[in-house]
Amino acid sequence: MKNKLLFLLLLCLFASFVRADDTQNSGAKVGPIALPDISLIGNIIGDYNQDTNHVTFGMDELEMVIAGYIYPQIKADAVLSMHQNGLEIEEAYADFLSLFDTFSLRAGKMKVEFGKINKLHSHVWPYADVPLVINNFLAGSLSENGASIGIVLPLPIFVKSETGLYNVEPGVDGGPGTLSLSRELYSERLSASFDPTDSSELELATSGAISKGSDYPVSRDDVRLAGADLTLKVWPVNYSRFLLQSEAMYMKREQAGGAFERWGAYTYAGYTFNKFVDLGTRYDWSENAIAQMDKESKISGIFTYRMSEATFARFQYTYSPEKKSNEVLLQFVYGLGPHTHPLQ
Amino acid sequence: MKKLLVLTAVLLLPFVVLGKSLNIVASTTDIADIMKAVAGDRANVECLMKGTQDPHSVEPKPSMVIKVRNADIMAVVGMDLDMWANSVIEASRNSKVSKGGQGYLDMSEDIPKLEVPEGKIDARLGDVHIYGNPHYQLNPENGKIMADEALKKLIEFSPDDEKYFQANHDAFVKKLDEAIIRWKKTMAPLKGVKLAASHSCLLYFFDAFGIKQAGYIESKPGIPPSPAEVMALEKKIQDDRVKAVLVDQFFDMSEPEKLSADTGIKPVVISTCVNGIDGTGDYIKLFDFDVNAVVSAVK
């Protein structure tokens, strides 16, 4: 499997070299060439954690994205991720953008539409690490095989419903105390966005999911997740933006040994001063996802310097009151090649 | 039952009324203004961005998706300037206005393009547009080509209104032609004069009025200048006795002000979009404002 992936990766690299060569020969007229968009996103992270007394530095993840239209109104995307655990197909799906002119269908392996940031790739988050609640309840990221149907409701404001059915790949784990799912996963996300003023946007959303725990055959572990999120963006002047993002999640696990409930949330507030500089802070609070109750909170300060849309350097300082420990993260993200994101 | 019928009729009324005219969405204010001029009252024209926003870096919003969802025609600048509009079109699921659809209108199709890069292009050159400099709306001659594009697309959608659209088009072009004569006369003393600019978005404006470009503050598009680049520009300004630096309305004024303090050059803020600055409410007023600002500063 690994060899096949490596082969695919090399093939794509080759294709991108062919494209680069064409660029050299024919000037700017690369548009008509029927190759997909190929891009690389590198995420280099340096981390000093006082609690574990551990320093790491290096390539945290290298993401290769191949995307393009395969038919009018049908797109295919593949995201290959290389990280310390090896090669992984993070996403690979076909998008039927306009099914019966009303619905959209996505089929394949994809980020599950649950919550605000789970569906986004981490390099577009305004911070360098995974919020506690996302790590504890969603194992850092829920990306599964399945299908989801989306519909934008015919209303004067943007209201979108997304319903998904997935088959959870066992073994995805966010570390001790986190939730690990298995078998089927049903999810639903309903979001509404509107502009309170000409220079602002507010999104309110709710999400729900039903699945089983990874040791279901032993513990008969039924898992229910619910979430609510809010995103407020205000653009006071050109290039400046205030962002407030908050997400709360609730989890209920019913096991053979009894049922228990858990909560978690984070809030991020940040200001983009100009084309280059962002300053933000995030407060995290989350209970763990297992029967032995534990909870943790964190407060972070984040400074980002953007060189371009896809390339930036970031400094993040985090303090954990329960552990009385400090963590410093240095992040450098670079983008190479054409790369687009859906609306965020 | 009667009440139900009346209620249904009232609810459906807006759709019936809307159904009578075309829904046009433009990515930029310049395109919206030209589409309005040609379409007249036979279309509802909406714009996705404001004139005060930099068209390179507009953040797509879900409210834009609602506008595009109901569009018959989606008019874009093209040449990879308003790529953000593509994600809005995609999210709208409106296949009619997506690239290749009948309602997709790329205004740049017939524009004589400037600064089309040759050879290998990469990030060392800055944020270069691979299809050439996309700020073509700043040459008023190109405004006529944009009006032609608008006319062709409108006739395609509503052939019964051809005469009406043609009359609107001709009136707009006549008004623009008269204005071009006026602007060229006003700008005539500046022909061959060297002026600096904030960045290359003013290239088409320089080209339209025969102004020579003495250098850009942002020598590589989208990249802040290094101290060495600033010094080189300052030397050029002094050597060539450049009188003014034209600054687009989005540009951070700290660099032009520093340049002014070091060399005595005048920073002149001009608008690159309709409604970018007060007094630039339509395509003709945009050039009225810019031409007056430049001439007053260089006098």
The minimum CA-CA distance between B120 and chain A, rounded to whole Å, is 4
Number of H helices, E strands in chain B: 10, 8
Beta bridge partners of A69: A75
Rounded-to-integer distance, Cα A297 and Cα A323, Å: 9
Out of A28, A73, A340, closest to residue B132 by CB: A28
Mapping DSSP to helix (H, G, I), strand (E, B) and coil, where does residue A291 land?
coil
Who wins on pLDDT, A83 or B158? Answer: B158
State how far the alpha carbon of A255 is from the alpha carbons of A80, A222, B296, in Å: 35, 6, 79
Give residues with Cβ within 8 angstroms of A225, minimum separation 6.
A114, A137, A207, A208, A209, A210, A211, A249, A250, A251
Instruction: Flag whether residue A233 sits within 8 Å of chain B, measured between CB atoms.
Output: yes
Mapping DSSP to helix (H, G, I), strand (E, B) and coil, where does residue A142 land?
coil
pLDDT at A28 over 70: no
User: Residue range B77-89: average pLDDT?
Assistant: 92
Q: What is the pLDDT of residue A285?
A: 97
For residue A337, the Cα-to-chain-centroid distance in whole angstroms is 20
User: Residue range A11-40: average pLDDT?
Assistant: 54
Contact criterion met (CB < 8 Å) for B94 and A98? yes
pLDDT band for position A182 (cuts 50, 70, 90): confident
Q: Tokens for A172, please give them.
A: 């995805």
Rounded-to-integer distance, Cα A199 and Cα A234, Å: 6
Q: What is the pLDDT of residue A17?
A: 47
Per-chain mean pLDDT for chain B: 90
- Quick one: chain A helix, strand, coil %, rounded to 5? 10, 60, 30
Q: Tokens for B232, please give them.
A: 């080189």
Crossing angle between the packed helical segments B84-92 and B62-69, to the nearest 10 degrees: 60
Give residues with Cβ within 8 angstroms of A289, minimum separation 6.
A136, A137, A177, A178, A179, A251, A253, A262
Write out the H or E segment, with its range, that includes residue A331: strand A325-336
Q: What are the E-state strand segments in A50-180?
A: 54-71, 74-83, 86-99, 103-111, 143-152, 158-168
Model pLDDT for residues A200-233, shown as the tens digit of each residue:
999 999 999 999 887 777 778 899 999 999 999 9
For residue B150, the Cα-to-chain-centroid distance in whole angstroms is 14
φ/ψ of residue A9, rounded to 5: -65, -45
Vertex A259: Cα angle to A254 and A260 (nearest 5): 115
Beta bridge partners of A115: none
Which of A43-47, A292-296, B8-12 is the least confident region? B8-12
pLDDT at A24 over 60: no
pLDDT at A339 over 60: yes
Give residues with Cβ within 8 angstroms of A292, minimum separation 6.
none
Which of A167-171, A234-238, B153-157, B276-280 is the least confident region? A167-171
Q: What is the pLDDT of residue B93?
A: 87
User: Residue range B48-69: average pLDDT?
Assistant: 91
Contact criterion met (CB < 8 Å) for B53 and A238? yes
Q: Tell me, what DSSP letter sits at residue A169?
A: P
How many A×B Cβ pairs under 8 Å? 91
- Alpha helices, DSSP H, located in chain A: 2-26, 132-138, 216-219
Report chain A residues whose CB lies below 8 A from the CB of B62: 158, 160, 193-194, 201, 203, 343
Q: What is the pLDDT of residue B42?
A: 95
State how far the alpha carbon of A62 is from the alpha carbons of A79, A89, A123, A131, A158, in Å: 10, 12, 11, 21, 34
Using alpha carbons, select from A292, A269, A295, A272 the residue that is nearest to residue A282: A269
Q: What is the pLDDT of residue A338?
A: 77
Model pLDDT for residues B186-212, shown as the tens digit of each residue:
999 999 999 999 988 899 999 999 999
Out of B57, B86, B117, closest to residue A28 by CB: B117
Q: What is the pLDDT of residue B248?
A: 92
Who wins on pLDDT, A221 or B135? Answer: B135
pLDDT band for position A20 (cuts 50, 70, 90): very low
User: Residues 21-50, chain A: which have Cβ within 8 Å of B?
Assistant: 23-24, 27-28, 30-31
Domains, chain A, ordered by start: 98-336 (2.40.160)
Rounded-to-integer distance, Cα B62 and Cα B54, Å: 19
Model pLDDT for residues A282-321, shown as the tens digit of each residue:
999 999 988 888 999 999 999 999 998 889 999 999 999 9
Contact criterion met (CB < 8 Å) for B93 and A104? yes
pLDDT at A174 over 80: no
Which of A2-6, A293-297, B286-290 is the least confident region? A2-6
Model pLDDT for residues A96-134, shown as the tens digit of each residue:
988 877 789 999 999 999 999 999 999 999 999 999 999
Domains, chain B, ordered by start: 17-109+139-181 (3.40.50.1980), 191-298 (3.40.50.1980)
Q: What is the pLDDT of residue A14?
A: 45
Who wins on pLDDT, B240 or B74? Answer: B74
Sole residue written with tokens 């109901």: B70
Pairing of strands B194-197, B104-106: unpaired
User: Residues 138-197, chain A: which have Cβ within 8 Å of B?
Assistant: 152, 156-158, 160, 193-195
Out of B60, B100, B120, closest to residue A72 by CB: B100
pLDDT band for position A2 (cuts 50, 70, 90): low
User: Residue range B153-162: average pLDDT?
Assistant: 96
pLDDT band for position B109 (cuts 50, 70, 90): very high
Q: What is the pLDDT of residue A251?
A: 95
Rounded-to-integer distance, Cα A87 and Cα B239, Å: 58
Q: Tokens for A283, please give them.
A: 């407060």
Model pLDDT for residues A71-82, shown as the tens digit of each residue:
988 999 999 999
State how far the alpha carbon of B282 is from the alpha carbons of A207, B38, B46, B183, B272, in Å: 45, 13, 14, 15, 12
For residue A96, the chain B residue with the least C-alpha distance is B93
Q: Tokens for A225, please give them.
A: 């997740």
Report chain B residues whose CB lies below 8 A from the CB of A157: 63, 66
Rounded-to-integer distance, Cα B258 and Cα B250, Å: 17
Model pLDDT for residues B23-37, shown as the tens digit of each residue:
999 999 999 999 999
**Assembly ipTM:** 0.84
Sheet holding B266-270, edge to edge: B212-216, B194-197, B244-248, B266-270
8 A C-beta contact, residue A27 and residue B129: no
The minimum CA-CA distance between A202 and chain B, rounded to whole Å, is 10
Q: What is the pLDDT of residue A8?
A: 57
